Structure 1
């Protein structure tokens, strides 16, 4: 059994760790509330843009390069993770889904390239023998629309130049503070834009477009892709902070349990030590009497 001094040191160490995890939980909770507010505000905007594009899609005659479906020879897989750890299985779940998808496509003879948004995903790709085509680091925790524009511009340029024929994004979608779901989304080619509730033709025709339906459609399609990427970044940020908050809460509870067990162990060891000392005293007194 460990000595009293050693147990006291362990209790002190666990208490220090508990203070750290408790503080990290509070910080994550504050960041989570902001991230949650941002994604909840963006979702209606993203849905409305889809609605406008669906309206325009029924009136334009010429297509767009981003809608062009090509033979699936080269596929780009983009993994969206965080830059930091201590958030449970947040990063691991994304990477597991990515490696599984990559393996499936390679078995079909498809050439796969990978890019990483986030340091954790970038590092793990390198450890598994992949060389990321492009890496965007330092975004986690301070997502801005400029990040989405930069990422989207790179994707569009390489897609139009036929560097790859399809782009897939893998990220954690925010459901609630306790639930994050890994989502696999095809960014390019853009799927035909649809709305959940179809609008009557009379309502669509009532709009007056300036300069023209085709010009607006050509401008909104890349913008819609930017919004999709920005939404994924915000979904991932909210999911990361929620996962970190939950992870730190569990760590704090585990520290409490460990402190209770060590305290019980300390009391038992102290009681055994006192009992031993009393027995030694009694034994000494008996020896003197003889």
Structure 2
């Protein structure tokens, strides 16, 4: 058997092993997407409970007190931003897309910017663009790791000097989209959006007897707002991770298709080379037989 046939056989074996790895990674990515999406859905009931609690606290306030963002000019204070990225490979332009979107939005604001980056690669890109990075955090590797990260983000942003007077916090992340894998989005966490507040107050209490908040409701409202922010950050992180795995899943599907095409080509060449080697051996046998026959006749 020729060296080319042995080489092709080795290449086919290597490509087959690589395809097994790719298909395993594809299955893991698909499973991870489902877990992160389910974690967001699991927050639905808790989100509704927090919203109803905020409704009970806010329904007695004057309308003017529900738009704190109008009390100071837009340029007052510093703008804080939390940017969720990825520190793993095989995600295409995941980090580039979200950083470009965050920079486009933040650089248009006439205010000092403080950014908290989730992911070292995001931090590096923000720093290279001249944006001050107040903190960097590891990207969660599981659903269980999201809540501790969100707790740290809330604590660090709340205690940062730039956010002491009038907190202004935005969050940037990639959100899953059918057919498009993901798209970058932003959400203003603080001050609370007036349109969101109007929608909150427009809902109705599920029973005929609306509740009364004990003790004036200030402490309760602050606690509920903090829970609302926790839910928003948790959802942003989970959706970012789902988008990351969706990007990786698409990359693995493309790789699997490419390997299939490569294997088809290699196997075709292998069968052709192998048939040529067999034909050559048969011709040698026939030539040897004919030579022996001529000797016998002679």
Query: Structure 2 stretches of 5 or more lacking a match?
Result: none
Separation of aligned partners in 2, 1:66 and 1:221: 14
Alignment pair present for 1:251 and 2:255: yes
8 Å contact kept, 1:60–1:214: no
8 Å contact kept, 2:53–2:224: no
Separation of aligned partners in 1, 2:179 and 2:246: 5
Alignment pair present for 1:261 and 2:261: no
1:91-240 aligned within 5 A = 91-102=95-106, 104-105=107-108, 110-126=111-127, 132-141=133-142, 142-158=144-160, 159-161=162-164, 166-175=168-177, 179-192=181-194, 193-195=197-199, 198-199=202-203, 206-240=210-244
1:282 Cα deviation after fit: 7.0
8 Å contact kept, 2:56–2:213: no
Task: Tell me the equivalent position of 2:24.
Answer: 23
Describe the shift of the 1:185–1:58 C-alpha distance in structure 2 as closer, same or farther (beyond 3 A): same
- Indicate the RMSD between aligned Cα atoms, in angstroms: 3.7
8 Å contact kept, 2:29–2:245: yes
TM-score scaled by length of structure 1: 0.78
Query: Structure 1 stretches of 5 or more lacking a match?
Result: none
Separation of aligned partners in 2, 1:283 and 1:124: 70
TM-score scaled by length of structure 2: 0.76
1:134 Cα deviation after fit: 0.7
1:128 Cα deviation after fit: 5.5
Describe the shift of the 1:127–1:199 C-alpha distance in structure 2 as closer, same or farther (beyond 3 A): closer
Number of equivalenced pairs:
284
Deviates more, 1:16-25 or 1:185-194: 185-194
Separation of aligned partners in 1, 2:55 and 2:34: 32
Separation of aligned partners in 2, 1:99 and 1:3: 53
1:184 Cα deviation after fit: 1.1
1:281 Cα deviation after fit: 6.9
Separation of aligned partners in 1, 2:199 and 2:49: 9
Deviates more, 1:260-269 or 1:63-72: 63-72
Separation of aligned partners in 1, 2:288 and 2:132: 75
